[in-house]
Amino acid sequence: MRVLQANKYHYVKGGAERYYLDVSHRLAARGHTVIPFAMQDERNEGSPHARFFVRGVDYHARGGPWRKIPDALRAIYSRETVRRVSALIADAHPQIAHLHNIYHQISPSLITALARHDIPMVQSLHDYKAICPGYLMMVKGKVCERCCTGSHFNCVIKRCLLDSYSASFVGWLEWRVHEFLHTYQKISRFLCPSRFLLEKFAEHGIARERLIHFPYFLPLDEYQPAYEPQDYFIYLGRLSREKGIATLLAALRRRTGRRLTCRILGEGPLEVELKQQAAEWGLRQVEFTGYVQGEALHQAIREAAFTVVPSEWYENLPFSILESFALGTPVVGSRIGGIPEMVIDGETGLTFTPGDADELAAAIDRMEADPAETIAMGRRARRLDEERYAPDPHLDRLERLYQDLIG
């Protein structure tokens, strides 16, 4: 099979990229021809098709208004994307396209171009962009469904994108144009990593027969658990408001246990503020270790007593939980989005009400007070990964779906 895999980043930037690249590598190992389509970037993995990639753009970079206008128009409809993917199709002849995060930098014009060439499409839904112009269904640190239940112009009113009226207007206009063009109707199936996300899309207008519950997989042979935790637990992820990191810091102030240190692995816009708050509160058992990756990250997770995932937005299927489980580390997670589908309370970890620092503190104290049960939870978590998120069943199912749509 010749499969076009499209994602704006062709290197590991987050969970969506990890899945996109893992799928690509595994399909290639099974003998399929994988044809990537992404943005140009010096961090990209090598590819013989890189000459067809679109020009890289960073919407967070500073620049004058005349420089920004072409990039803003590109988010709505990109002639470059249409031209380059058409050339790629003529060169590589894909039979099916699997889309991931294509918004803004590549733009939904990719869908239009693929449809013109009669190439069937599936899309993995890594966030809520197709029903929420701001991706997260969150405004000012609070869950928000105004666009889904009312006018999508709420995105502009609330400045949902980059806290900017102009960026939010472009996001709204992109959504409005492609709603008018019925762009997303051209995609045959949407793959939903969590049941929560599937139900949310069905609730807000996507036909249920086009939605398939399709969890991520993890190459479990690359993850070796130890079940010998050291005297710390971890948070790993972006230091941003929707991740609930401020609630975690407040919980650390309230906990009664003091045996375990908390290591915060990651970086983001709240880093300086969080460090200042930790110093002001005298939280000496908190360590900010910055961004960690590769084997160093695996070791940090493997040796942790548990991982804390305090998110306050509708998480999909967090890789931080998948990886923790694969390395035999249980999770304390908030009861929101797809998290409770993975963190089974009392079995693979503990859950708490999102935003409730007292409840989170109690959960941390409970995990710290019973090391033997925490290790047992880690063993059950690893088994859950093996049962639900192994590669081969996922890829077998994906191949069948591709073949059905091609056939």
Order of strands, sheet of 232-236, starting from the edge strand that comes earlier in the sequence:
286-290, 261-265, 232-236, 307-309, 331-334, 349-352
- CA separation for the pair 337, 311 (Å, rounded): 9
Same domain, 301 and 161: no
Query: pLDDT band for position 65 (50/70/90)?
Result: very low
Q: What angle do CA 15, 16, 22 make, to 5 degrees?
A: 85
Q: Where are the beta strands (DSSP E) in 7-94?
A: 33-37
155-206: per-residue pLDDT in tens? 887 787 777 777 788 877 887 777 878 889 999 999 999 999 999 999 988 9
Question: What burial class does residue 118 get, using C-beta atoms within 10 Å of its C-beta: 0-12 exposed, 13-18 middle, 19+ buried?
Answer: exposed
Residue type, 66: W
Query: CB of 309 within 8 A of CB of 248?
Result: no
Same domain, 43 and 130: yes
Of 140-144, 308-312, 344-348, minimum mean pLDDT range = 140-144
Of 83-92, 249-258, 320-329, minimum mean pLDDT range = 249-258
Residue 380, pLDDT > 60, answer yes
Query: CB of 366 within 8 A of CB of 351?
Result: no
Same domain, 8 and 74: yes
Same domain, 107 and 55: yes
Same domain, 184 and 253: no
How many CB atoms are closer than 10 A to CB 383?
13
The whole-number pLDDT of residue 225 equals 97
Question: What burial class does residue 107 get, using C-beta atoms within 10 Å of its C-beta: 0-12 exposed, 13-18 middle, 19+ buried?
Answer: buried
The whole-number pLDDT of residue 156 equals 81
Q: Which helix (H) or strand (E) holds 86?
A: helix 79-92
Order of strands, sheet of 189-192, starting from the edge strand that comes earlier in the sequence:
33-37, 2-6, 96-99, 121-124, 189-192, 211-213
Residue type, 106: I
Same domain, 186 and 274: no
Same domain, 68 and 196: yes
Residue 149, pLDDT > 70, answer no
Residue 66, pLDDT > 60, answer no
The whole-number pLDDT of residue 171 equals 79
Q: Which of 124, 108, 114 is nearest to 182 (CA)?
A: 108
**Domains contained in the chain, number:** 2
Q: Which helix (H) or strand (E) holds 111?
A: helix 109-116
- CA separation for the pair 133, 111 (Å, rounded): 17
| Residue range 336-353: mean pLDDT, rounded | 97
Same domain, 61 and 93: yes
How many CB atoms are closer than 10 A to CB 393?
12
Same domain, 74 and 193: yes
The whole-number pLDDT of residue 163 equals 75
Q: What is the CATH number of the domain that holds 33?
A: 3.40.50.2000
Instruction: Report the chain's mean pLDDT, rounded to a whole number.
Output: 92
Q: Which of 110, 105, 79 is nearest to 4 (CA)?
A: 110
Same domain, 164 and 48: yes
Same domain, 179 and 247: no
Structure tokens belonging to residue 264: 């915060």
Residue 94, pLDDT > 90, answer yes
Residues of the domain holding 101: 2-217+390-406
Where residue 5 falls (left for φ over 0; alpha for ψ -120 to 50; beta otherwise) is beta
| Contact residues for 300 (Cβ-Cβ < 8 A; gap 6+) | 234, 236, 263, 265, 289, 292
| Residue range 144-161: mean pLDDT, rounded | 76
Which string of DSSP letters, residue by residue, matches 300-358?
Answer: HHHTSS-EEE---S---S-HHHHHHHHTT--EEEESSTTGGGTS-BTTTEEEE-TT-HH
Same domain, 169 and 258: no
Distance between the two ends of the chain, CA-based, in angstroms? Answer: 11
